[in-house]
Structure 1
Amino acid sequence: MPYEPPTHRVERSLRATTGAKIVAGVDEVGRGAWAGPVTVCAAVTGLRRPPEGLTDSKLLAPKRRAELAAELVSWVTAHALGHASPEEIDDLGMTAALRLAAGRALEALPVRPDAVILDGKHDYLGAPWRVRTVIKGDQSCVAVAAASVIAKVRRDKMMAELGVDHADFDFAANVGYPSPVHRAALEEWGPTPYHRLSWAYLDALPRWRHLKKARTWAEGSVPEIEGQLGFDF
């Protein structure tokens, strides 16, 4: 299906209206998974012509996505990744976990952005960052599309590595997301150390329902968060 390639329109607008010289695109992957971290990439691209075929990572075939990610890590001006672990997701809720992961990615950049383009309609990042949210930014904005591809390929690789010791879960194929194989493994073996234990999938697993963690956070709340990543990826 034909699609319009991403542009620098939003980046140019931020430069013109806010005086921002360094603009980072930010995108996440892993929000809807049962297992694994939520991963955020922050990418700074400048206004150069992007690699051919750049778009939202979900629109790319796996082989092409991996090839493009390898090209992008050399092409971007700067990029960095941040993760929030399953335990942090359980303890904080997804909104705060996304903020934590995105903050880690942005703080790890070798240059500090003057503005951030965040994929989607909700600003889960907030102060002190100057944020512009863009619905389907991973399709329309070069920097966000680049972040989307890098984040997806990196997290997929991480999940495949985690799956080596949990072959029945087939993490290499489902990367922690719901699937028939994933559900069957959960019914047989219960959650691994990499599963999110506050999620509703445990309600459908009578043998393992007792492991479910009660939510201690209010949906949508974003507490102040400090500290280092508590999960070794």
Structure 2
Amino acid sequence: MLLSNHSGYTFEAGIDEAGRGCLAGPVVAAAVVLPADYRHNLLTDSKLLSKKQREQLREDILQDAVAWAIGEATPAEIDQINILQATFLAMHRAAERLAQQPEFLLIDGNRFKPYKQVPHACIVKGDGKYLSIAAASVLAKTHRDAVMAQLAEAFEGYGWEKNAGYPTVWHREAIARQGTTVHHRLSFTLLPERATIL
């Protein structure tokens, strides 16, 4: 069973991201503060859920959360400062947009750049251990999927409505065939077989 609190603070925000490994689109982070002793039978790591389950959970989280917020870092920012720093930036933006400053941040993963003077803890595989991080993983994933589906309408042929910008064979073949867009991360190796061997 996932835990409802780590620090003992009431306004503890779980934070998770989606899209770090993608070739296109923003990296998205979500911050979620849940009620004390919150319980949900289905809520767990978003990667273990079906799309239908994630969409239903999203509605439940938006209704039940004490506070929630989304932060993004653009492909241009990713190219400028690298994906790790851009992920921290998206997380900071999510924390900044909460209804009030969190008392504690619970971060999924093993690294984080401190946010203001707010104490934090990094939890490896936290989305399978804490409800607030699991909720953040659901919101980040569903928000990002929706962004990529919308972009797919304007940039056809890359399959973003299905692959969400991840490095699938279809996506890479489309890059080889059609070239890149303003939403591609040019600092990433988009076509490994074309990488120059020094």
TM superposition score normalised by structure 2: 0.93
Instruction: Select which of 125, 148, 166 maps to 2:155.
Output: 166
Q: CA deviation at 1:205?
A: 4.2
Task: Report the Cα distance in structure 1 between the residues aligned to 2:95 and 2:39, rounded to whole angstroms.
Answer: 21
Please show how residues 1-233 of structure 1 align to structure 2 within 5 Å. Answer: 5-8=1-4, 11=5, 13-15=6-8, 20-205=9-194
Matched residues in 1 for 2:133 and 2:47: separation? 13
**Could you tell me which amino acid in structure 2 is paired with residue 123 of structure 1?**
F
1:145, 1:50 → 2: CA distance? 12
Give the distance between the partners of 2:191 and 2:172, measured in 1 at CA: 10
1:219 paired residue number: none
d(CA) in 2 for partners of 1:183 and 1:39?
Answer: 22
* Same amino acid, percent of matched pairs: 36
Instruction: Out of 117-126 and 139-148, give the one that drifted further.
Output: 117-126
> What is the CA-CA distance between 1:21 and the residue it aligns to?
3.0
* Aligned partners of 2:176 and 2:191 also within 8 Å: no
Matched pairs, number: 196
Q: Which moved more, 1:79-88 or 1:166-175?
A: 166-175
Return the alpha-carbon distance in structure 2 between the equivalents of residues 135 and 55 of structure 1: 14
Quote the Cα distance in structure 2 between the aligned partners of 1:196 and 1:170: 16
- Deviation, structure 1 residue 165: 1.8
- TM-score, normalised to structure 1, is 0.80
Deviations 1:195-216 (A, max 9, x none): 000112245348xx9xxxxxxx
User: Shift of residue 51 of structure 1?
Assistant: 2.5
Measure how far apart 1:52 and its partner are: 2.1
The structure that has the greater radius of gyration is: 1
- RMSD over aligned Cα atoms: 1.6
Instruction: Tell me the secondary structure at the aligned position of residue 68 of structure 2.
Output: strand
Give the counterpart letter for 1:138 in structure 2: D
Counterpart secondary structure, 1:185: helix
Work out whether residues 57 and 145 of structure 1, in 8 Å CA contact, stay in contact via their aligned partners in 2.
yes
